Amino acid sequence: MLLVVTALAIARVRNLFAVVALGGIYSFLMALALLVLDAVDVSMTEASVGAGISTVLLLGALYLTRVDEAMPLRFSVAPLIVALVAGAALLYGSWDLPPFGDPAGPIHHHVAPRYLNQVMAETGVPNVVTAVLASYRGFDTLGETTVIFTGGIGVLLLLKGRRRRRGSGGAAP
Amino acid sequence: MAGAVAHFGNWVTVILMVIGLYVVLARGNLIKKLIGLSIFQTSVYLLYVGPGKILGGTPPIIAEGFTVYANPLPHVLILTAIVVGVATLALGLALVVRIHEAYGTIEEDEVLGREGDS
């Protein structure tokens, strides 16, 4: 509920610096919610990545650009309608989901019990999330690091050209 | 009333999703758009992790005396999603910085206007 309030504030506030600070608060609240949902690993990652690295990146981008958001030239109602219709469709669909916290839900009877029962015998790692991430799905994690590597190279290339152009006298169009 | 409790998490997820979608669609500021994308993304985290919880269960770390664990698979998927999300955010912000360099603004309307002028 605090999450919703913070997200609404993010949508309304026009000073981008305040928006970034609210984004940090939002990430910590999300980390708390994930902790309550028993997702401790995800919670730690969200607190460090969402509230830490993302905030630093956004502040860096704000430093390189500017802080205030312009007033919109016109208020168009179409995005609101699209968002509300999508939300209504999702709510309608959510009635068919299994109830919250029910151990009989279909999600708990697919491959998860196999991991939970065999993980100690097969990997010896008590933290199942770590075992699945690094052992069973090691190639996925390799692909993930490839994505981060590509992203890092992209950022470096984009910002490197910028520095060179500024160094050569600022021939920006 | 039991139905309301059972689906409360889904409602929060949907509301956050709608807010994120609205920010992405309606706001012209490119940094604001990226933050909206992040909100949308975190709502997907809730969508995945929420059903994995079992009432009375514990986090999925095998230990003596516990038999009911939360489903570990959504956690693994969302860990990957968080990290990929921050890579996406970094790349998007780099693009915004470049756009600001080229056009002197980060408002979508003004960028399109200057594109038309030149």
CATH of the domain at B70: 1.10.287.3510
Shortest alpha-carbon distance between residue B59 and chain A (Å):
5
Residues 6+ apart with CB under 8 A from A23: A10, A54, A55, A58, B35, B38
Domain tally for chain B? Answer: 1
* Burial of A125: CB neighbours in 10 Å, binned 0-12, 13-18, 19+: middle
pLDDT of residue A170: 36
- Residue A167 scores a pLDDT above 50: no
Determine which of A82-91, B35-44, B102-111 has the lowest per-residue pLDDT on average: B102-111
Residues 6+ apart with CB under 8 A from A16: A62, A67, A68, A69, B29, B31, B32
Q: Give the residue-averaged pLDDT of A123-135.
A: 76
CB contact under 8 A, B54 and A108: yes
SS3 A68: strand
Contacting A residues, span 13-42, partner chain B, CB-CB under 8 Å: 16, 19-20, 23, 26-27, 30, 33-34, 37-42
- Residue B91 scores a pLDDT above 80: yes
List the single best residue of B53, B55, B77, B114 to mutate versus A (max A Cβ within 10 A): B53
- Residue A120 scores a pLDDT above 70: yes
pLDDT of residue A52: 85
ipTM (interface pTM): 0.79
Higher local confidence (pLDDT), A170 or A62: A62
pLDDT of residue B51: 78
Contacting B residues, span 2-61, partner chain A, CB-CB under 8 Å: 2-3, 5-12, 14-23, 25-29, 31-32, 34-36, 38-39, 42, 45-46, 49-61
**Residue B1 touches partner A, C-beta closer than 8 Å:** no
Q: Is B55 left (phi over 0), alpha (psi -120 to 50) or beta?
A: beta
B62 and B36 Cβ atoms separated by less than 8 Å = no
Please state, for a pLDDT cut of 70, what percent of chain A lies above it: 75
Shortest alpha-carbon distance between residue B20 and chain A (Å):
8
CB contact under 8 A, B91 and A155: yes
- Residue A156 scores a pLDDT above 80: yes
- Out of B11, B62, B106, the one facing A119 most closely (by C-beta) is B62
Q: Give the residue-averaged pLDDT of A92-109.
A: 73
pLDDT of residue A168: 41
Q: Give the residue-averaged pLDDT of A65-70.
A: 69
